[in-house]
Amino acid sequence: MDDIPIPLPSEPVRFMDRFRAHMRAKHLAYRTEKTYCLWVLDFIRFHGRRHPEAMGAEEVDAWLSYLANERNVAINTQKTALNAVVYLYRQFLGRDLGDLQFSKTSKGRRLPVVFSHEEAMQVISAMHGAHQLVASLMYGSGLRVMEAVRLRIQDVDFAERCLFVREAKGEKWRRTLLPHSLLEPLRAQIDLALALHQRDIQDGFGAVYLPGALAKKYPKAPTSPQWQYVFPAPHRAVDPRSQIVRRHHVGEQQVRRSVATALSKLAILKKASCHTFRHSFATNLLKAGTDIRSIQELLGHNDVNTTMIYTHVVGAHARGVASPLDKV
């Protein structure tokens, strides 16, 4: 249940609790909240646990330079760390850091690993049950693993053959493809989810977790069929934060382990993971002639430059460029 926010005191006193409360008031995604907290704590520890209010731009520059020069973090990692401390000072503490003069990392961005279509289908075929269907959605719809396991029944539109991704990275909603080959497997999975939900209702449970204040705004929503997860966990469990017994969705880690097991059995010697399916979705669309803006929308990227990385993955082969060594 890593996507359920930890409870905070009604009147937070500790610095990090107040920082978390501020981010929730601004409706930042819980994953962003956790990431920012990790980087802020790293910043504080780097400076001998000094209080952030006693530090400023000089200390931020020193820490960010350390990340680049000593820890050799990637460009995007340093950017995330920068975003965390800028939010801390500008939004939470109300202080402008001015022009920062830190050393920028020179560790370039790597090209993403992708499956060939044959490899992707081999991995999916080596999986079973709900995990196989989750992997199929990652490859066929370009979903992140967290987006796939968090799908709600109302997010599946069979009539329009599309998926609505609502609980996405950065809380950005988008619409993406629903492959024709997954229509019947998804209908069967939803029937299973609804049957489990009815059993939970009969046992006196059946209230699913809702993000933000939706449960308070719509009291009947947690037990309504449309809000149930498409991929419910096989067992009910006690939420350690609220002590409420509920059925959550299948865990991201369980799906990751299933993919890793399939890769091991097939001896596919690539540094692949769940996210490789999403990368492969994008490269296959690009090879098929889909324009980059459409791919950007389907993936939910803010910046088209992020999507452009796939043009380098597809490379010269897709443009018909051949090596002179292969000339007859």
**DSSP-assigned letter for residue 223:** G
Q: Which of 95, 169, 175, 236 is catalytic?
A: 169
Tens of pLDDT along 160-214? 999 999 866 656 789 999 999 999 999 999 999 999 999 999 999 989 988 767 7
Burial tier of 2 (Cβ tally within 10 Å: 0-12, 13-18, 19+): exposed
The letter for the amino acid at 181 is S
Average pLDDT per consecutive 10 residues, the chain (328 residues; last block may be shorter): 73 94 88 94 96 96 95 90 96 94 80 93 96 97 95 96 82 89 97 96 91 78 94 88 85 95 93 95 92 93 88 70 67
Tens of pLDDT along 211-230? 767 777 888 889 999 999 99
CATH number 1.10.10.1200 is the correct assignment for the domain at 111-318: no
Please indicate whether residue 278 is annotated as part of the active site.
yes
Please indicate whether residue 169 is annotated as part of the active site.
yes
Q: Which of 131, 144, 197, 247 is catalytic?
A: 144
Q: Which of 278, 279, 319, 327 is catalytic?
A: 278
Please indicate whether residue 275 is annotated as part of the active site.
yes
The answer to whether residues 105 and 98 touch, using CB atoms and an 8 Å cutoff, is no
Q: Which of 22, 31, 34, 275 is catalytic?
A: 275
Q: Which CATH class for the 15-92 domain? A: mainly alpha
pLDDT at res. 6: 74
> Phi and psi for 204 in degrees, rounded to 5?
90, 15
* Structural domain spans, the chain: 15-92, 111-318
Residues paired with 165 in a beta bridge: 174
pLDDT at res. 322: 64
Query: How much is the pTM?
Result: 0.80
Q: Which distant-in-sequence residues (6+ apart) come within 8 Å of 102 by Cβ?
A: 60, 61, 62, 63, 64, 65, 68, 82
